[in-house]
Chains A and B, each alone.
Chain A
Amino acid sequence: MTPRTLTLLVVAGLLTLVGCGTDNDRSPSEVETETPAATPSTPEATPSATPRLEAGGLVITVSIADGKVRPLGKAYDATVGETITVDVTSDAEDELHLHAEPEQSFDVTPGTQSFRFEVDVPGSVSLESHDIGGTIATIDVRP
């Protein structure tokens, strides 16, 4: 086998890949919805300032209690421009970081609150708790 045959083989391999890519218009991935957090809200919890968006959109429920954050590393799917809501129940102050383009950050106060955002650039975006330290969720945002 000569280098030329090898090159042909590699090119053939790449062509199969390209072929598999062109007819691949995926339907928007199913949106996973979450039931509200199982942890009861603390008595002094104030009603969230932002009204909960009921129609469509990914909802991620996060609890921060006793220095632990839940869930950890949970995987979600979303699409570009979809409104993503994060409902947070916390017993401490924290800061949530969304590693997206551009980076976003949300201040958490004790109580319940909701944050809403959209992701404009496709990619795998992670939501992290800054003070406790931990990746809460990774969201695969597809075009």
Chain B
Amino acid sequence: MTVAGEALLAHGVGGSTDLPLPLEYAMIGAAWALAISFAVLALAWRRPRLDPSTPGIALPLRITLTVDSGPSHALLGVLGVGFTSWVALAAFGGEPGPTNGAPGAFYVLLWVGIVPLSLLCGHVWAYLSPVRALHGAACWALRRDPVAGVWNYPARLGYWPAALGLLAFVWTELASPDPGALATVRVWLIGYVAYGVLGGLAFGRRWFERADPFDVYAAFVSALSPFGRRSPDDRRIVARNPLSNLAGLPVDRGIVAVVAVLLGSTAFDSATGTSWWMTQVQTWYAGSPGLAVAYKTLGLLAMVLLVALVFVLAARATGGLTAVQRRAMPGELAHSLVPIVVGYVGAHYLSYLVEKGQRTVIALADPLDRGWDLLGFGGLQTSYWLSEHPHVLAVLKVGLVLTGHVLGVVAAHDRCIRVLPRAHHLTGQLALMLVMVGYTFLGLFLLFAG
């Protein structure tokens, strides 16, 4: 028995996955999702209440001043660049294998960790982001304004570059030939830094807000955080109802594509673990790496397209609107999928973040395999408490899915009564609510069967 070398690792970091959700948990979760959805539809408020311009509760001025000060931006930027450089040491100089922390830093700490970070702290990624910091440093060196670029960001692109970037990432993780290889991480490190810094120089800050996949992901999740600014003019940091913050998520072209990639890819990840995929689809590609990539790519695209198509159709299925207004409905309602994404991604990746995250941090203590242990955690052992208590894990997972679902339904309800004519308040949101119930049923089913 030897330790696996450059193995084909699930999600790029290997190890086991969660036990399937027990059937009764999935059933109870589904029943409550259905019941609460109709309760919202029938009983919830009839006048819109979720408003991103509500004043909220102002936090002490000190906090705003500290968060917005030059030194703290510099400190967070240095942290982000420093951590990225540390990971680059492991990616370029470390030995491949389970003791290398670079793939875990990429697939676990960045991809999954960005969700709780943004949910709890708001959009701090804007300051931690290594590409924003490097871009800021480059602008400082060139004596240029970091907000403005050489050209204006083309408005017609909207969020589409970010959606494609996210698709490229999930493709790498779930469908590419060898996601765990250090070469893959190296390509992404170099490619992402070049994409971010050059794009930022060319198009200014807008590039990060619309085209940077990780920045946009963080911004979408942080819209659901309890923290926000009082108003675009008064930058004081306030605490307000997360759903009111969420209602202020900027709508732009491609917004549906962003959430569809996030939701569809997570569902596809579960789907590849079902016995149907394992015993049927696998026989079509096993033994041929090229076919494996082809089938997984098709499956991933199909799942993302399915999520997007069903959502667009349902969001448009309402009366009382002109054709132009109807076309705007999917974008107007896209923010309501963010809680569903966060809940499902949280459920799907909870143990992955906690347990693979620990393993990654321990591995990163010694990036070059020279016996370093700078911060003193290199000798720690991973705690598998969550995996050892599968019932607790199952309750947490169903709870996350259910909470995300309810918040999504409420956000959609509020937006519907804001934009739909009164006569269509109920019927206009029915199709969308059923689609959300469908997503949640599918999500729970995949957590049970995957």
**Which of B15-23, B78-86, B156-164, B315-323 interfaces with chain A?**
B15-23
**In chain A between 65 and 96, which residues have their CB closer than 8 angstroms to a CB of chain B?**
67-69, 72-75
**Which of A30-38, A40-48, A52-60, A121-129 interfaces with chain B?**
A121-129
Which residues of the other chain, A, contact B355 by a CB distance below 8 angstroms?
101
With both beta carbons as reference points, the residue of chain B lying nearest to A17 in the complex is identified as B395
Q: Which 7 A-B pairs have the closest CB atoms?
A: A73-B278, A123-B16, A134-B286, A13-B32, A1-B43, A21-B391, A103-B4
B405 to chain A, nearest CB (A): 10
Contact with A along B371-409 (1 / 0, CB 8 A): 000000000001010011011101100110011001000
A39 within 8 A of B: no
B419 to chain A, nearest CB (A): 21
B233 within 8 A of A: no
Identify B1's interface contact among A13, A105, A121, A130, CB under 8 A. Answer: A105
A6 touches B17 (CB 8 A): no
B45 touches A140 (CB 8 A): no
With both beta carbons as reference points, the residue of chain B lying nearest to A106 in the complex is identified as B1
Provide a sorted-by-A list of 24 A–B residue pairs whose CB atoms are within 8 angstroms: A6-B39, A9-B32, A9-B35, A17-B28, A17-B395, A21-B391, A24-B391, A69-B286, A72-B278, A73-B282, A97-B7, A100-B15, A100-B16, A104-B3, A105-B7, A121-B387, A123-B18, A123-B387, A124-B18, A124-B20, A126-B16, A128-B7, A130-B7, A133-B288
B421 within 8 A of A: no
Instruction: Enumerate chain B interface residues (CB-CB to A < 8 A).
Output: 1-5, 7-10, 14-20, 22, 24-25, 28-29, 32, 35-36, 39-40, 43-45, 98, 241, 273, 275, 277-279, 282-283, 286-289, 292, 355, 382, 384, 387-388, 390-392, 394-395, 398-399, 402-403, 406, 410
- Per DSSP, chain B at the interface is helix
B152 to chain A, nearest CB (A): 41
With both beta carbons as reference points, the residue of chain B lying nearest to A72 in the complex is identified as B282
